[in-house]
């Protein structure tokens, strides 16, 4: 028999491949109960499905990420009884992968430099709002109001040559026209109970940033590239990222990357019903551990007892 004859077809290969999960914290603060819930869900899903669990350190924001927070991630997860495959992927070490994806999107004519500063953008938004409401993205931030997209090529080139800093943005209208209707497979639940085949509406985000002025990539771009490169098949993460999935699906299609399934989970809130933040001291895993809570106690606290 030839090697070709025993090579599994796509479907058999998919069935034989164990599912791949990942927990992907940003080391810009200490982990709290919400992270513990997400990490434990990923760990449990990987165990019950015979799958693999990866840990990815999302440290592209060099101004906020710190080595001591990264060290605390490893320590807290190990204390929780979670184990993950090594080596851990640290995004800051893979900028060339994101650059390659950006180049691909640029070659499709979907990327443009945007020169405005944050302050200029805020000023433009207030000027637009004087004439009526200006659209906001699903996180509540105003859509990009700048004019950089329509700059003539020579003006753009002059600005770049002069050393003016710029971000790279996705031309959302053109990108959406290119791919048409998009959906994703939601195994969990969105904030409004969305489940199953969910329509993706990336246009709600406007011209998202693909590379920041200070970092040659962005959250959306690196998460999509990494999930594909690492073969992640089921993405388990908080509902705060539910709507961002629309942008991720769009980028996956534009970059010809495989489509993972998504399982968004409820968020753990504080006693006032607010989403936990990395500065929320009393729900930090460090503080809870110091107060004598056990890993089993953490499971009970997040409803996984």
Q: Is 263 in the site for ligand GLU (CB under 6 A)?
A: no
CB of 159 to ligand GLU, least distance (A): 32
Burial 100-133 (b: 16+ CB within 10 A, else e): ebbeebeeeebbbbbbbeeeebeebbeeeeeeee
Strands (E), the chain: 20-23, 52-57, 89-90, 111-114, 167-170, 182-186, 196-200, 209-211, 234-238, 261-265
Q: Is 237 in the site for ligand GLU (CB under 6 A)?
A: yes
| Closer residue to ligand GLU in complex, CB, 94/178 | 94
- Which residues in the 148-167 window bind ligand GLU by CB under 6 A? none
Candidate list 143, 179, 241, 301; residue touching ligand GLU; CB under 6 A: 241
Q: Is 111 in the site for ligand GLU (CB under 6 A)?
A: no
CB of 102 to ligand GLU, least distance (A): 19
- The stretch near ligand GLU (CB under 6 A) out of 10-18, 24-32, 94-102, 127-135 is 24-32
- Pairing status of strand 89-90 against strand 52-57: parallel
Q: Is 76 in the site for ligand GLU (CB under 6 A)?
A: no
Q: Quick one: DSSP state of residue 216?
A: S
CA dihedral sign of residues 120, 122, 125, 129? negative
| Closer residue to ligand GLU in complex, CB, 26/233 | 26
Q: Is 223 in the site for ligand GLU (CB under 6 A)?
A: yes
CA angle (184, 252, 250) in 5-degree steps: 65
- Which residues in the 159-218 window bind ligand GLU by CB under 6 A? none
Candidate list 24, 53, 210, 254; residue touching ligand GLU; CB under 6 A: 24
Q: Quick one: DSSP state of residue 273?
A: S
Q: Which residues, 6+ apart, have CB-to-CB distance to 146 below 8 Å?
A: 114, 115, 116, 120, 121, 124
CB of 148 to ligand GLU, least distance (A): 27
CB of 235 to ligand GLU, least distance (A): 7
d(CA 126, CA 148): 18
**Binding residues for ligand GLU (CB under 6 A):** 24-26, 58, 223, 237, 241
């Amino acid at each position: 028999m030839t090697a070709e004859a025993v090579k599994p077809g796509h479907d058999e290969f998919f069935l034989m491949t164990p599912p791949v999960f990942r927990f992907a914290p940003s080391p810009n603060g200490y982990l709290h109960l919400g992270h513990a819930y997400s990490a434990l869900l990923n760990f449990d899903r990987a165990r019950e499905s015979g799958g693999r669990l990866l840990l990815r350190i999302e440290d592209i924001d060099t101004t906020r990420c710190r080595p001591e927070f990264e060290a605390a991630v490893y320590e807290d997860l190990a204390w929780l009884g979670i184990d993950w495959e090594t080596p851990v992927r640290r995004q800051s070490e893979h900028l060339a992968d994101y650059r390659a994806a950006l180049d691909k999107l640029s070659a499709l004519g979907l990327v443009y430099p945007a020169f405005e500063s944050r302050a200029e953008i805020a000023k433009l938004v207030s000027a637009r709002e004087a004439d009526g409401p200006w659209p906001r993205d699903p996180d509540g931030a105003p859509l990009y109001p700048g004019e950089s997209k329509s700059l003539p090529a020579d003006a753009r080139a002059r600005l770049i040559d002069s050393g003016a800093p710029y971000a790279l943005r996705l031309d959302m209208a053109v990108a959406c026209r290119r791919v048409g209707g998009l959906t994703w497979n939601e195994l969990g639940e969105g904030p409004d109970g969305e489940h199953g085949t969910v329509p993706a509406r990336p246009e709600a985000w406007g011209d998202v940033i693909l590379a920041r002025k200070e970092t040659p990539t962005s959250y959306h771009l690196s998460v999509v590239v990494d999930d594909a490169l690492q073969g992640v098949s089921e993405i388990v993460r908080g509902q705060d990222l539910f709507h961002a999935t629309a942008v991720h699906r769009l980028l996956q299609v534009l970059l010809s990357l495989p489509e993972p399934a998504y399982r968004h989970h409820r968020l753990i809130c504080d006693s006032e019903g607010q989403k936990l933040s990395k500065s929320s001291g009393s729900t930090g895993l460090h503080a809870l551990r110091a107060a004598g809570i056990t890993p089993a106690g953490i499971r009970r606290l997040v409803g996984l007892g």
